Amino acid sequence: MQLIDGKVVAEQVKQEIAAEVAQMVAQGRRAPHLAAILVGHDGGSETYVANKIKACAVCGFKSSLIRFEETVSEAELLAAIDGLNRDPEVDGFIVQLPLPKHIDEQKIVEAIDYRKDVDGFHPVNVGRACIGLPSFLSATPAGILELLRRYKIETAGKHVVIIGRSNIVGKPLANLLMRKDYPGNATVTVVHSYSTDIKQQCLSADIIVCALGRPHFLKEDMVKEGATVIDVGTTRVPSTLTKSGFKLTGDVDFDAVAPKCAYITPVPGGVGPMTIVSLMKNTLLAGAKAIY
């Protein structure tokens, strides 16, 4: 069994990005600039945004944080987005999700200029990715592709089972793994909460991606010998052993499943660090005007 170390790969990719930024700057171009909009004070969102800003510093990007109180109106948020869309000094920006209930998230996502949508959530980017055109790829699926690439894991002709069909993980990942490319050319099965044959599907899978948010859902008797298992799940489970009072737990019963696997990602330290790195890659592409 080989552990797929997302932390190590993420550090490598950030260093590669930093080298490219240093080159851009040496050529007299400005460093890419990522802006983030954060609404409210949710602990998880605060941490994610802080980590993104930290990663920008490592990559040599400029970053800006625009904060709003939980009570911000949709109109105010749309005005801020319009400002960032028009700002020639901002290459890409994100609006940290989730947003308060009185704000229509889809409206916010669609208000972002797709040429600055470094989260890859705008329908234009989703659609372009789906038909294989250059686009900003959704961060978590792109991070998973990068892990498969770095560990040289074969996907062509392989059966990939993805558990979960969300718009940010399951669906875009399924599309990417079907591309005529590497990683890609896989036979992809997507299962969800209405699927009745998840165990049988998983037992025939060469690669299983768990993205459902149910701690320890994937058990040892659902995995064939030599499979690759990618665990996207990150659920905060209460714990007396940590200072924060919770433990990030994956969707895979790791201790039981790992001995059967050729490759497996841990939680934490697997897919998570790669998600931020994908955002950094998209920002680099935005700064270099490499896609649009």
- Which residues are designated catalytic? 52, 96, 119
**According to the binding rule CB under 6 A, does residue 200 interact with ligand NAP?**
no
Residue closer to ligand NAP, measured from CB, 112 or 212: 212
**According to the binding rule CB under 6 A, does residue 264 interact with ligand NAP?**
no
Q: Which two tokens stand for residue 4?
A: 């797929």
**According to the binding rule CB under 6 A, does residue 272 interact with ligand NAP?**
yes
**According to the binding rule CB under 6 A, does residue 164 interact with ligand NAP?**
yes
Query: Which residues have a Cβ under 8 Å from the Cβ of 148 and sit 6 or more positions away?
Result: 155, 183
Selection from 224, 260, 252, 288 nearest residue 91 by Cα: 288
Query: Which residues have a Cβ under 8 Å from the Cβ of 251 and sit 6 or more positions away?
Result: 163, 210, 211, 212, 213, 214, 215, 216, 217, 218, 231, 232, 233, 235
**According to the binding rule CB under 6 A, does residue 138 interact with ligand NAP?**
no
Closest CB 99 distance from ligand NAP, rounded Å: 15
**According to the binding rule CB under 6 A, does residue 193 interact with ligand NAP?**
yes
**According to the binding rule CB under 6 A, does residue 194 interact with ligand NAP?**
yes
Q: Which two tokens stand for residue 208?
A: 């299983």
Are 105 and 98 in contact, with CB atoms under 8 Å apart? yes
Query: Which residues have a Cβ under 8 Å from the Cβ of 31 and sit 6 or more positions away?
Result: 21, 24, 25, 60, 61, 62, 287
**According to the binding rule CB under 6 A, does residue 216 interact with ligand NAP?**
no
**According to the binding rule CB under 6 A, does residue 280 interact with ligand NAP?**
no
Closest CB 24 distance from ligand NAP, rounded Å: 27
Ramachandran category for residue 69: left, alpha or beta (phi over 0 → left; psi -120 to 50 → alpha) = beta
Residue closer to ligand NAP, measured from CB, 186 or 267: 267
**According to the binding rule CB under 6 A, does residue 132 interact with ligand NAP?**
no
Amino acid letter, residue 153: I
Given candidates 192, 197, 200, 259, which one binds ligand NAP under the rule CB under 6 A? 192
Q: How many chain residues bind ligand NAP (CB under 6 A)? A: 24
By CB under 6 A, which span of 109-117, 149-157, 221-229, 231-239 interacts with ligand NAP? 231-239
Residue closer to ligand NAP, measured from CB, 80 or 231: 231
CB burial string 269-278: b at 16+ within 10 A, e below: bbbbbbbbbb
Are 192 and 213 in contact, with CB atoms under 8 Å apart? no
**According to the binding rule CB under 6 A, does residue 183 interact with ligand NAP?**
no
Phi, psi dihedrals of residue 167, rounded to the nearest 5°: -70, -20
Closest CB 86 distance from ligand NAP, rounded Å: 30
Binding site for ligand NAP (CB under 6 A): 140, 163-166, 168-170, 191-194, 198, 211-214, 232-235, 271-272, 275
